[in-house]
Amino acid sequence: MKSFLAIIILLSAIQVPHALAQESKVKPQNKLEEFVLNLFDSEKRAERKAKRIERRKKRQAAKAKKELESRPAPKTPIVSKPIPKVEEKPSCSLYDSMIPKCYHKRNDSNLNIALLYYGDYMKQSDLDRIEPILIERFSKATNKAIGVNIVVKKIIPFKQKMPADFSYNGITDKKRLQRIWYYDNVGTQIMNEVYEEYKKVESKEQLDTLDAIVAITGAQFDGLGFASGRVSVTEYPREIAWASDGGGRVDYISDFEIVDELIHELGHNLFLGHTSTQCQKPGMTYEEKQACCALSPSKDDVLSYCRKRAHVNENFMHGFESCNQDMIERLVVPAIINGGDWNLKNRSKCE
């Protein structure tokens, strides 16, 4: 502070004003005058500023260089080779899904199936009685191209029980009410329920050996039977018109009629579709359907809605007609024996 005041005093004492010195370019007479003139000279100030900026830049550059040198050297990136994608093999087991994608390879064209009753009506003895009829008639239906081995027979009770206060249209029979309750509360989901309940009581090893699960059930749903993948269900007993006056009735069809439906659903389990579908178009009258069925080459096929179900008895059955029989021999049998795909390609349309 004292030095600054001294400079001010000296400035006051200078006889040559700064402005005059700039105009006349008067040379300073001594070092003090030279110092003062340099202090206020704009060119000198600019020069000093430039030097300060240059020194600052050098310091910043030196600092940046030091920081860069102190950093660890970057690691050489490791280039890994892409892992080849392993194609997952489709499962052929009913343990994994209701829709296995393939068959297990074997030496013959026999199907291994589980025959179940799901509900509270049939007994084990009923399945024992149906078993030989199904074995014999399925072989005949396929012209001995495919046989059936029934490796499992089980009775599985309903998973769900109707509420104690459930009532319907004056019906008092508890077993009827239970079957009707299933129609309203489970419906077509019954097949999933059958599959899941069967899995609970069966070993993985046994499920691995099965080609199809064929179930008869008292649970009511829309239709007489239906299939998904390698699982199918068929109604028995059948509740008829339970919403009508008097509560309808129960239809107890014969063992031969039950087997007719089982063969129909087993056909779907083999990835075969309905025949004569041209006779079931929406909007067709009953008379039009009957006339169409009369001309259908596959009208008597067990997979046709044109077939005469009421004619089935001890002496009469439906089988697979020429169109489906050709696919069975040409596509289904090789797939079963060779462990091929279940979802058949190049299927024919059977009219």
pLDDT digits (tens, 9 = 90+) for 253-298: 999 999 999 999 999 999 999 999 999 999 999 999 999 999 999 9
pLDDT value at residue 28: 63
**SS3 (DSSP) at 147:** strand
pLDDT value at residue 321: 97
Q: Which stretches of the chain drop beneath a pLDDT of 50?
A: 2, 9-11, 13-24
pLDDT value at residue 127: 98
Find out whether 152 and 215 touch, Cβ atoms under 8 Å: no
> Cβ–Cβ contacts within 10 Å for residue 40, how many?
13
Q: Which residue has the tokens 């199904």?
A: 134
Q: Which residue ranges form the domains of the chain, and what is each CATH number? A: 110-274 (3.40.390)
Core vs surface per residue 226-239: b (16+ CB within 10 A) or e: bbebbbbbbbbbbb
- Ramachandran assignment for 25, one of left (phi > 0), alpha (psi -120 to 50 degrees), beta (any other): left
pLDDT value at residue 41: 64
**SS3 (DSSP) at 63:** helix
